[in-house]
Amino acid sequence: MLLYTLRRILIMIPILIMISIVVFSLALAMPGDALSGQIDPANTDPQYVEQMREQLGLNDPVHVQYARWATGVLQWDFGRSFNHRMPVTELIGERLPNTILLSVMSLMITYVLAFFMGRYAGRHPYTPGDYGIQGLNYLMLAIPSFVAAIFAIFIFSFQFGWFPSTGSVGSGLEAGTWDWWVSKIHHTALPALVLGGLTTASYTQFLRNDIIENAQKDYVRTARAKGTPEGTIYNKHILRNSVIPIITLFGFDIASIIGGAVIIETVFTYRGIGELLISSITNRDYSVVTAITLMLSVATLVGNLIADLIYGVVDPRIRVE
């Protein structure tokens, strides 16, 4: 297993370098100065721009620029945000905890919902309850996240007034206090519900089908023949076998959450990385855009790696390949 893990990680390194080259090329294509964020994008005086470019080394050959940028990135230096006039890493550091909280909560919601719905549908297949859950699944697969988010705001924030429709924490609260945490969770709940709820569909379906399939297997028949109660059969024997494959989907979730978070955070003006990406694009704060793009790409890569690794744990045959 260790060898397998090491090999996977080693394979990642050239991919990482290639990704960084792609992001770097994108940064060069962006208007202004997307690498260091030192040139005022509103100032178009050619003399000023030329002088700044010369000073910042933006007229150097591309590979020199790349080397300089990559060295910076390795030292956790992504340049400065022109709008916020501070290091990009610091800015992202402010937002990252929010995105992580949102992701964790949405993952929890996904697993809990999928577990209960999938278990119910799998135990009672082809009943009205099952059909109801299936119908819900189809709907959740079809509805785009931003549409779901707006419906959620309309219903839960405006009609019922249960959740705030915007922001990541209430104002006037001191960070770290009990009230602050409560407010934070309260603000995160609705976006997390939308983000988590939509990914539930595929999990539920997977679990349901797996349970139905397992229910036909010999070991279940044996258990049943021995007179084991139905409840025990489902909860102990089948579920244990059906839940494991679901865990392997976790890694891929990271990738899907990243895309989802960009939209959900923007709709809810939830102050996370995704919202920062969108607002930085709007404000032409391209050094931030470059940094976030790179970070999210790396996160996706790591997500795929985790998926591979977990898969290797669950299904040892994979490791031999």
Give the interface with another protein as residue ranges (CB under 8 A): 15, 18-19, 22, 26, 29-31, 40-45, 48, 83-86, 90-91, 94, 138-139, 141-147, 150-151, 153-154, 158, 164-167, 170-172, 255, 258-259, 262-263, 266-267, 269, 271, 275, 277-279, 281-284, 289, 292-293, 296-297, 299-301, 304
CB of 233 to another protein, least distance (A): 27
- CB-nearer residue toward another protein: 42 or 225: 42
- CB-nearer residue toward another protein: 234 or 312: 312
- CB-nearer residue toward another protein: 228 or 297: 297
**CA nearest neighbour of 102 among 301, 278, 293, 260:** 260
- CB-nearer residue toward another protein: 112 or 147: 147
Rounded to 10 degrees, the C-alpha dihedral 283/284/290/295 comes to 10
SS (H, E, C) the chain: CHHHHHHHHHHHHHHHHHHHHHHHHHHHHCCCCCCCCCCCCCCCCHHHHHHHHHHHCCCCCHHHHHHHHHHHHHCCCCCEECCCCEEHHHHHHHHHHHHHHHHHHHHHHHHHHHHHHHHHHHHCCCCHHHHHHHHHHHHHHHCCHHHHHHHHHHHHHHHCCCCCCCCCCCCCCCCCCHHHHHHHHHHHHHHHHHHHHHHHHHHHHHHHHHHHHHHCCHHHHHHHHCCCCHHHHHHHHHHHHHHHHHHHCHHHHHHHHHHHHHHHHHHCCCCCHHHHHHHHHHCCCHHHHHHHHHHHHHHHHHHHHHHHHHHHHHCCHHHHC
- CB-nearer residue toward another protein: 31 or 61: 31
CB of 238 to another protein, least distance (A): 23
CB of 38 to another protein, least distance (A): 11
- CB-nearer residue toward another protein: 238 or 289: 289
CB of 230 to another protein, least distance (A): 27
CB of 222 to another protein, least distance (A): 27
CB of 13 to another protein, least distance (A): 13
- CB-nearer residue toward another protein: 220 or 255: 255
CB of 86 to another protein, least distance (A): 5
